[in-house]
Structure formats: structure tokens, C-alpha cells
């Protein structure tokens, strides 16, 4: 059991490292960014019965993501809001992987959650949201994907609702690359901290990648407070990509806490 877990963390780490160093192989794009394997060619709506999903052993697990976060079912933990961001301004490196926009982040951007440090690897977007709160699906969701020094992945999810234009997103939205392309825009500097709402209350749970190979063992932190994107910003994404949210999975008996 422990050995398996170790092996699967190692696999994820190895794939992510491959993503970091080799950049563009389909395999690497797939797991580094929890997005669809481009070689797979199918869109967001894999279900448990979908042969494509069945092909991935991990997708049969009991701790798949995303889920509906039900406030009445979570245990609340006051005083556990210990999330310290150390994100920096970095030159924009942006990829269109055919399913989403991925903002690649260089080394040295960290978040420490209850003393557990994760390094930020990349951020990407889903429209509509993947997680739901009390059955409410949001317009979109940002995922900031991190890795700790043992190769464990930690994702911070920030829900997006329609409202005011988001100035940090505007810098990224001006530079969407063509499908399959990556662009360096060194004159534009972005900081993922500008996507994090002031109120950092969040749902914490164990879950999975939301794209093949659906590997479990990810530490998910979904912030309760949404941020706003303008209708135009949402439309630009929707005009560029197919809906890219995986459908809701069962919580089963896994614990979900609300840290506030
Ligand atoms: Zn994602």
C-alpha cells in the first residue's frame, strides 16, 4: 500500500519533471496540468461509464475530483486558516494546450498551508467551474497547481463568477496563443497572488487530477470566496475553448473540512 502510494507519487513527479524539462510532450502536458491528454482528443465529459475513463485505473477510485462541496456535510475548523502565499511577479509564459490556458510559473513561488510548503508550478482555467458549492456551479475556476518536495500535488482552486473585469486576467487574456502554442511575453509580469481573494476560507479535501490519468492523492484547497471576471473575459475563454470541466464525482466517505 505504502509502496504503491510512493510509486504513484513518483510517477506524478516524474511526469511533472518531464513536463518541466521537456516542455511539450503530450504526456507531460497531460499530467503536469491536470488537463486532457491532447492525444486523447475527447472533451470534458468523461463519466464513470465512459470507456476512456475506464481505461484509467485511478478513475475507479473513491477519491476523485471534482465534487459538490456541501456546507452541511463538512466539518468546520476555526483557526486553521493558515495559508501563507509567497508568490512573486514573474514574466508571462503562457500555453494554449487546446483545452485551456496554462500560465507556467518559474521556480521560487511558494505557498505554505499549515506548515506544509508547496511550490507553484502553473495555473490554468476551467469554464464552467469544476467544484460546486451546495450544488451551485460557478462560471469558472482557476487552478493553481503546486508540488511539495516529496512530489505530492496541492491545488488551490479559486471559483470565478461574472462581475467586474479582472485586471490580472486581462494581462493574460491579451495574449492567448494559438492552439498548441506557447508564448513568452517577458514585458508582461503576472502574479498569481492577484487571483487569491482576501478571504481565504477554504474547503480542504483529498482528491484527484480532473483529467487523465485521474491520479489520486492530491491535496485540494477550494476557496469559498469567488473572484470576478467580466462577461467579456468569460466569453473570450468560451469562444476559444470547449467547456472543460470534469463532471462531479462522488464524495464517498472522505472527510471535507472548511478551514476558516
Ligand atoms: Zn484544473
Digitized pLDDT (tens) for each residue of the chain, 260 residues in all = 444 444 454 444 434 433 333 333 333 333 444 444 433 434 444 455 555 556 788 999 999 999 999 999 998 877 667 899 999 999 999 999 999 999 999 999 999 998 899 999 999 999 999 999 999 999 999 999 999 999 999 999 999 999 999 999 999 999 999 999 999 999 999 999 999 999 999 999 999 999 999 999 999 999 999 999 999 999 999 999 999 999 999 999 999 999 98
Query: Which spans in 89-141 are helix H?
Result: none
| Spacing, Cα 129 to ligand 1 middle (Å) | 9
Backbone angles phi, psi at 135, to 5 degrees: 85, -10
**DSSP structural state of residue 67:** B
Give distance in angstroms: CA of 144 to centre of ligand 1.
8
pTM (2 d.p.) = 0.81
CATH no., domain 2-259: 3.10.200.10
3-state helix, strand, coil in the chain (%, to 5): 25, 35, 40
**Ligand 1 centroid distance, CA of 34 (Å):** 5
Please tell me whether the peptide bond between 171 and the residue prior to it is cis, using omega within 30 degrees of 0.
Answer: no
Length of the chain: 260
d(CA 129, CA 142): 8
**Residues near 152 by Cβ (< 8 Å), separated by ≥ 6?**
9, 118, 217, 218, 219
DSSP 235: H
pLDDT at position 40? 40
Instruction: Please give the distance, rounded to the nearest whole angstrom, from the Cα atom of residue 74 to the centre of ligand 1.
Output: 22
- The pLDDT of residue 53 is 58
**Nearest Cα to 229, choosing from 184, 182, 195?**
195
Domain boundaries, the chain: 2-259
If phi > 0 it is left, if psi is from -120 to 50 it is alpha, else beta; for residue 111 that is beta
CA of 141 to the centre of ligand 1 (A): 8
Task: Give me ligand 1 centre to Cα 7, in Å.
Answer: 23
Decide: 215 and 134 in contact? Cβ < 8 Å. Answer: no
* pLDDT for the residue numbered 22: 30
The sign one gets for the Cα dihedral 121, 167, 134, 201 is positive
Distance from the alpha carbon of residue 221 to the mean position of ligand 1, in angstroms: 12
Distance CA 225, CA 219 (A): 19
Can you tell me whether residue 136 is helix, strand or coil? strand
For the record, the C-alpha cell of 237 comes out as 475563454
Place of cell 470507456: 51
Between CA 107 and CA 109 the distance in angstroms is 6
Burial 102-128 (b: 16+ CB within 10 A, else e): bbbbeeebbbebeeeebbbbbbbbbbb
Query: In the chain, what is the greatest distance between 2 CA atoms, to the nearest angstrom?
Result: 48
CA of 79 relative to ligand 1 center, distance in Å: 28
- pLDDT in the model for residue 56: 87
The three-class DSSP label of residue 243 is: coil
Amino acid at each position: 500500500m505504502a509502496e504503491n502510494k510512493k510509486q504513484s507519487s513518483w510517477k506524478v513527479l516524474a511526469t511533472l519533471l518531464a513536463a518541466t524539462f521537456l516542455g511539450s510532450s503530450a504526456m507531460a502536458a497531460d499530467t503536469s496540468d491536470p488537463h486532457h491528454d491532447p492525444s486523447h482528443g475527447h472533451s470534458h465529459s468523461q463519466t464513470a461509464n465512459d470507456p476512456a475513463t475506464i481505461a484509467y485505473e485511478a478513475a475507479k477510485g473513491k477519491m476523485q475530483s471534482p465534487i459538490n462541496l456541501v456546507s452541511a456535510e463538512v466539518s468546520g475548523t476555526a483557526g486553521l486558516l493558515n495559508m501563507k502565499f509567497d508568490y512573486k511577479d514573474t514574466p508571462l509564459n503562457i500555453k494554449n494546450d487546446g483545452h485551456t490556458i496554462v500560465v507556467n510559473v518559474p521556480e521560487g513561488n511558494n505557498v505554505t498551508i499549515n506548515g506544509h510548503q508547496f511550490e507553484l508550478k502553473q495555473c490554468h482555467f476551467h469554464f464552467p467551474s469544476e467544484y460546486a458549492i451546495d450544488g451551485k456551479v460557478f462560471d469558472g475556476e482557476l487552478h493553481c497547481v503546486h508540488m511539495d518536495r516529496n512530489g505530492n500535488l496541492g491545488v488551490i482552486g479559486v471559483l470565478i463568477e461574472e462581475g467586474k473585469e479582472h485586471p490580472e486576467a486581462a494581462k493574460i487574456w491579451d495574449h492567448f496563443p494559438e492552439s498548441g502554442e506557447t508564448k513568452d511575453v517577458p514585458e508582461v509580469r503576472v502574479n498569481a497572488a492577484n487571483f487569491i481573494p482576501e478571504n481565504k476560507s477554504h474547503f480542504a479535501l483529498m482528491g484527484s487530477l480532473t483529467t487523465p490519468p485521474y491520479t489520486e492523492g492530491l491535496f485540494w484547497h477550494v476557496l469559498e470566496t469567488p473572484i470576478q471576471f467580466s462577461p467579456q473575459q468569460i466569453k473570450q475563454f468560451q469562444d476559444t475553448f470547449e467547456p472543460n470541466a470534469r463532471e462531479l464525482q462522488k464524495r464517498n466517505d472522505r472527510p471535507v473540512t472548511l478551514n476558516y
